[in-house]
A and B are shown apart, each in its own frame.
Chain A
Amino acid sequence: MSVAAIAFLVIGLGLIGWLSARTRAARFAAAADTAAGAAGRPHSLPFYHGWYVALWATVPALLFLAVWGWTSPALVTGAVLDTPAAALPESGIERGALLAEARALAQGKLAGAFNDEAAALAPAYRAAQARFDGIATVLALILAFAGGAYAFTRVRPDFRARTRVERAVMATLLVASLIAILTTVGIVASLLFESWRFFSMVSPVDFLFGLRWSPQSAVIAGQTNQFGAIPLFWGTIFIGAIIAMVVAIPLGLMSAVYLTQYAGPRLRAWMKPALEMLAGVPTVVYGYFAALTVAPALRDFAAAVGIPGASSESALAAGVVMGIMIIPFVSSMADDSITAVPAAMRDGSLAMGATQSETIRKVLIPAALPGVVGGVLLAVSRAIGETMIVVMAAGLAANLTANPFASVTTVTTQIVQLLTGDQEFDSAKTLAAFALGLVLFVITLLLNIVALRVVKKYREAYE
């Protein structure tokens, strides 16, 4: 029997446990009702007893199966290797290939064998598989029965099943939240590990402060001093934190002011969602909008007015489109923070004879500023992590330039470049992607922390 089939069996047992425990609890609940009235009622509703038994019947057995499903292939292989038929080649790769083939044969996924050795191993495999499956079935069923029976004996009127079930619910929620956290930890760990390998090949000082980025030649010439990441970080900041913000902050702020202060309820009802829809446009669409529409137009404009160094891939094109993309971030944060400014503030200013725009400029925006700043920081962190637009519109040349019409490249673009195509996974060139990713991660993390701090402090100020 496969692990999945056993799991179904266990769940079936759980269902039976649920039904029988509930029935039993319902019976003594009914008895208590007629006998003693409300005071003598059992602690928990029958339904909680049902869940208590069902959980005891299924959870330990399913946990066992999960561990089993993970470890049993190794156990099976170990058993096969112990059989006399296993006269295998020394080389690890060939051995692995043979074993995989034998496993496929044993499980009926392959019609015929390529290697005789594999064919010879298949029966041994099949036998071992059957034996371990049998063991698993028996153990799982014992666990399910034992758990269910233990729980069932505890189903008594005074037993606090509800408390236990609530605790189980809490544990489930805890595990769910831990999964996200553990995943993050895993990602950070892998970033750290690969970056460490990179920094054992390339000095961190050269990487963080070097002015030349040219990973290709580094591989060819065996040099290590071409991994200077400054041009990439400059490009990232130039596009994401400067050009994009020059576009997004005024537009986002002004639209928030208009929506909160001037627009009537009906206009606001459709304008706000329409603006927020910008956030739902796939970034690849922005990417080709930037690359195919905005970038050529900007290049022609630059050529017409005689700006040198104009390229068909420009920081400006990518930055402007990115700025438009993050307008909703800025405007919805600004909207929230302006709305959160107490109406008394606004009334106070209007009652002094201030006009609406004076009130907005001198009272509402200053009062909302921390929230707005928080929104802007979140938007920056979003912008510098953005990939698609810059891959399509910003270019690949690692220029250290302040000319917005020139081509620059960004950290994310280079990560894509380094990892796409055929790459060995232990060259400095590939590992550089992890180091870049790590630095980017640290920067966005810091931005997020600061932003959340600022926003939180601001919220507290008015609550």
Chain B
Amino acid sequence: MIEDHSVKSDRPAKMSARNVNVFYGQKQAISGVSIDVDMDNVVAFIGPSGCGKSTFLRTLNRMNDTIAGARVEGQITLDGTDIYNPDMDVVQLRARVGMVFQKPNPFPKSIYENVAYGPRIHGLVDGKADLDAVVEQSLRRAGLWDEVKDRLHESGTALSGGQQQRLCIARAIAVDPEVILMDEPCSALDPIATAKIEELIHELRGRYAIVIVTHNMQQAARVSQHTAFFHLGQLVEYGVTSEIFTNPREVRTKDYITGRYG
């Protein structure tokens, strides 16, 4: 008897994907993925490398548009609106669905300028005082303020790797997004920096819908409430994290979690 531990939430889904296929040229990288993401639960994507986690994550803020030859089929909605409809403004979408990358990629500008970048291009602030406030608030939320408040005008690239990644999170937060996508945000970091990011994810939960790709199953178990297991471009299993790790329904999930492959 398979027990049901499918995902349920009190609030309606923030983002929903239905039957999504992604192709790179002729090659299909994602087939038939349907998933819901809500504000209350951090979602972790796990699966062996090359299974399409990043590809699927990028469909959620249309970053695949920047890859020549990439094509997305199916429906993805944000608050019920199809994000691939022709009227959708990608600039608006990406302001609402922010992204943090695998390798910290602060701009070669000052810490302040890095965080101010988004509010400036989206015209979110009036005047210097307002901008200062947004920068401070974002850095505080990213847990970086105390470390950098005395050197806001030094280069963002001079920070340590973990600080750079938190700067990138602050940069994403600064435009006040609704969803934050993180693609293996800790894979380039040491354990202490990783712990800080994980703690930060806990703090951000509830304020933003968060999706995190990770190859580290302990990390998925620590930070997420829901886990999606991908394999060969398919969503094999999606459920409550504790259930997925203790009592997976699918053999493939179980094999992966017990380290049979990956």
A39 within 8 A of B: no
B-side contacts of A367, CB under 8 Å: 107-108
User: Among A351, A363, A461, which residue has its beta carbon within 8 angstroms of that of B107?
Assistant: A363
Q: Mark B179-191, 1 if CB is under 8 A from A, else 0.
A: 0000000000000
Question: Quick check: B63 and A350 within 8 Å, CB to CB?
Answer: yes
Question: Quick check: B109 and A353 within 8 Å, CB to CB?
Answer: no
* A240 → B minimal CB distance (Å): 31
How many Cβ-Cβ contacts under 8 Å join chain A to chain B? 66
- A interface residues, tally (CB under 8 Å): 20
Question: Quick check: B105 and A342 within 8 Å, CB to CB?
Answer: yes
In the complex, what residue of chain B is closest to A363 when comparing beta carbons?
B107
A223 within 8 A of B: no
Question: Quick check: A351 and B61 within 8 Å, CB to CB?
Answer: yes
8 Å CB contacts to B: which residues of A339-383?
A: 342, 344-355, 358, 362-363, 366-367
B-side contacts of A358, CB under 8 Å: 121
B217 within 8 A of A: no
* B67 → A minimal CB distance (Å): 10
B-side contacts of A348, CB under 8 Å: 101, 105-107, 168, 171
Question: Quick check: A353 and B105 within 8 Å, CB to CB?
Answer: no
Q: Mark B199-231, 1 if CB is under 8 A from A, else 0.
A: 000000000000000000000000000000000
Question: Quick check: A352 and B109 within 8 Å, CB to CB?
Answer: no
Question: Quick check: A355 and B91 within 8 Å, CB to CB?
Answer: yes
A-side contacts of B105, CB under 8 Å: 342, 344-345, 347-348
* A155 → B minimal CB distance (Å): 57
Question: Quick check: A345 and B122 within 8 Å, CB to CB?
Answer: no
User: Among B68, B93, B106, which residue has its beta carbon within 8 angstroms of that of A353?
Assistant: B93
B99 within 8 A of A: yes
Q: Mark A299-315, 1 if CB is under 8 A from B, else 0.
A: 00000000000000000
Question: Quick check: A353 and B118 within 8 Å, CB to CB?
Answer: yes
* A454 → B minimal CB distance (Å): 15
Using known A-B contacts A353-B118, A353-B122, A362-B121, determine if residue A344 contacts B108 with beta carbons closer than 8 Å.
no
Question: Quick check: B66 and A352 within 8 Å, CB to CB?
Answer: no
Question: Quick check: B101 and A347 within 8 Å, CB to CB?
Answer: yes
B-side contacts of A366, CB under 8 Å: 107-109
Q: Mark A230-272, 1 if CB is under 8 A from B, else 0.
A: 0000000000000000000000000000000000010000000
User: Which among A265, A348, A352, A354 has the greatest number of chain B C-beta atoms within 10 A?
Assistant: A352
In the complex, what residue of chain A is closest to B93 when comparing beta carbons?
A353
Question: Quick check: B63 and A351 within 8 Å, CB to CB?
Answer: yes
8 Å CB contacts to A: which residues of B89-135?
A: 90-95, 98-99, 101, 103, 105-109, 117-118, 121-122
- A344 to B101: give the CA distance in the assembly, Å: 8
* B170 → A minimal CB distance (Å): 12
B144 within 8 A of A: no
B172 within 8 A of A: yes
User: Among B68, B108, B118, which residue has its beta carbon within 8 angstroms of that of A352?
Assistant: B118
Question: Quick check: A351 and B103 within 8 Å, CB to CB?
Answer: no
User: Among A344, A349, A354, A362, which residue has its beta carbon within 8 angstroms of that of B103?
Assistant: A344
In the complex, what residue of chain A is closest to B91 when comparing beta carbons?
A353
Question: Quick check: A352 and B94 within 8 Å, CB to CB?
Answer: yes
Question: Quick check: B63 and A352 within 8 Å, CB to CB?
Answer: no
Question: Quick check: B63 and A353 within 8 Å, CB to CB?
Answer: no
- A350 to B168: give the CA distance in the assembly, Å: 13
* B154 → A minimal CB distance (Å): 15
Question: Quick check: A353 and B175 within 8 Å, CB to CB?
Answer: yes
A-side contacts of B107, CB under 8 Å: 345, 348-349, 363, 366-367
Question: Quick check: A351 and B108 within 8 Å, CB to CB?
Answer: no
* B135 → A minimal CB distance (Å): 14
Question: Quick check: B101 and A353 within 8 Å, CB to CB?
Answer: no
B-side contacts of A461, CB under 8 Å: 108
* B95 → A minimal CB distance (Å): 4
- A37 to B106: give the CA distance in the assembly, Å: 60
* A223 → B minimal CB distance (Å): 57
In the complex, what residue of chain A is closest to B94 when comparing beta carbons?
A353
A-side contacts of B122, CB under 8 Å: 353
* A290 → B minimal CB distance (Å): 40
In the complex, what residue of chain B is closest to A367 when comparing beta carbons?
B108
In the complex, what residue of chain B is closest to A265 when comparing beta carbons?
B68
User: Among B66, B92, B109, B171, which residue has its beta carbon within 8 angstroms of that of A350?
Assistant: B66
A-side contacts of B108, CB under 8 Å: 345, 366-367, 461
Question: Quick check: A350 and B117 within 8 Å, CB to CB?
Answer: no
B-side contacts of A345, CB under 8 Å: 105, 107-108
In the complex, what residue of chain B is closest to A341 when comparing beta carbons?
B108
- A351 to B175: give the CA distance in the assembly, Å: 11
Using known A-B contacts A344-B103, A362-B121, determine if residue A351 contacts B94 with beta carbons closer than 8 Å.
yes
- A230 to B175: give the CA distance in the assembly, Å: 55
Question: Quick check: B121 and A351 within 8 Å, CB to CB?
Answer: no
In the complex, what residue of chain A is closest to B104 when comparing beta carbons?
A344
In the complex, what residue of chain B is closest to A364 when comparing beta carbons?
B107
User: Which among A342, A344, A347, A353 has the greatest number of chain B C-beta atoms within 10 A?
Assistant: A353
User: Which among B63, B93, B121 has the greatest number of chain A C-beta atoms within 10 A?
Assistant: B121
In the complex, what residue of chain B is closest to A354 when comparing beta carbons?
B121
- A354 to B107: give the CA distance in the assembly, Å: 13
In the complex, what residue of chain B is closest to A346 when comparing beta carbons?
B66
Question: Quick check: A353 and B95 within 8 Å, CB to CB?
Answer: yes
Q: Could you list 8 further interchain pairs (A-B, Cβ under 8 angstroms) beyond the known A342-B105, A352-B95, A353-B175?
A: A344-B103, A345-B105, A349-B107, A350-B63, A351-B94, A351-B172, A352-B171, A355-B91
B residues with CB within 8 A of A? 61, 63, 66, 68, 90-95, 98-99, 101, 103, 105-109, 117-118, 121-122, 168, 171-172, 175
16 A-B residue contacts at CB 8 Å? Answer: A265-B68, A344-B101, A345-B107, A347-B101, A348-B101, A348-B106, A349-B107, A351-B94, A351-B99, A352-B94, A352-B117, A352-B172, A352-B175, A353-B122, A354-B118, A362-B117
Which 3 A-B residue pairings sit nearest by Cβ, starting from the closest? Answer: A353-B94, A344-B105, A353-B95
